[in-house]
Every structure is written in C-alpha cells, then in structure tokens.
Amino acid sequence: MSAVTDWIGRNKVGLMIIGTGAGLLLLLQVVSGCATLEDYIRFRVPPEVQRVVRVGPTVPLSQSGVVASSWSAYIESNTQLLQSNVRKAWGTLYFVQGLLEVGVSGLEAPGGFPVGGAILALLFGTGGLMLERPGQGKKTAGEKEASHKHGRKVVMDVLALVGGSRRPRGNNNPTPSDPEA
C-alpha cells in the first residue's frame, strides 16, 4: 500500500485534474437529466413583444416557439381588425360623400334655377308641417264636438235669460223640434 500512497503523493496535480473532470462529468449528467440545454440558453425579447406576450426581458430558448406563436397570433388578429376598421371607414366615407353629392345636386332645381332645389325642399317641408298626423282627425273631431256642445249650452243659457227660448229653463222634457234631443 505504500507504493500507491507514494504514487499519489508524487502525482497530486494529475489526480486533481482527473477528479475535477470526473466531478464535472457527474454534474453534467445530473443537469442533463433534470433539464435540457435549451433551458439554460436564453434570448432577449424586444420590449413591445414583452408587453404583448407578457414575458420577461429574456426567455429560455425552449420557450421560443410559444413566444413566437403568441406574437404571430397577436399580429394576425390585429392586422385583420385593422383591415376591417379601414374597410368600415371607407364605407362611411362613401356614404357621406353620396349624401353630400345628393344634397349639392338638390340645390339645382329642374330647369336650372339656382338654389331652386333648396327652395322646393323648404316649401315641401313647410307643407308637410301643415298635414295632419295619424290620429289627429279623431282628436280634432272630439274637440269640435265638445266646443259645439259648449257653445250651444251658452247660447241656450243666454236665450233663457233674455226670455226668447223655445223651452223654459229647467224643463227636462225636450220637444220634438229640439236638436239636442
């Protein structure tokens, strides 16, 4: 045994290198069993992508697919939304332009009378205000009937006071010639 200890005493540096290598090999085996090398290599994520995808400033390489697909989905959905909003805005513009063109062309009346269209529109609009609304006829007829009855009562009262009534006041038996009967 003394030969082995003598040899170890003479080769301390070599044995340290061999021991360190074996320890490192053992450590690498343990690390590779727990995680992949992609978990240890990280990449930087731009600030806008960090905000949208909600990740930190650096992400492991193993997560790159998730980050890239989330960013692509965000870009695609916002691109479609932007295109839809632009199409709606163009549609609104065409609608308003059409209304303005009809309004401007309406200022010219038939026969080329300047501003005649506006005058005609004003006249027809005023005429429309004079028309009866639906249901207004019944209301007006009811008001006329009530007014007629009230006027007739007032006239009969005045005639009774003057004494020229065909029927004395307080007579509850109408005569056949009485229109109220």
pLDDT tens for each residue of the chain, 181 residues long: 688 788 778 888 888 888 999 999 888 877 766 667 788 889 999 999 999 999 999 999 989 999 999 999 999 999 999 999 999 999 999 888 887 777 666 555 555 556 666 677 777 778 777 777 777 777 788 888 888 888 888 888 888 887 754 555 555 555 555 555 4
C-beta neighbour count of 156 within 10 angstroms = 16
58 strand-pairing partners: 44
Q: Per the structure block, which two tokens stand in for 89?
A: 């805005």
Q: Per the structure block, which two tokens stand in for 140?
A: 């007006």
Please give the model's pTM, rounded to 2 decimal places.
0.39
180 neighbors 174 (Cβ within 8 angstroms): yes
Q: What's the confidence (pLDDT) of residue 165?
A: 46
Q: Which residues 6+ apart lie within 8 Å of 106 measured at CB? A: 117, 118, 121
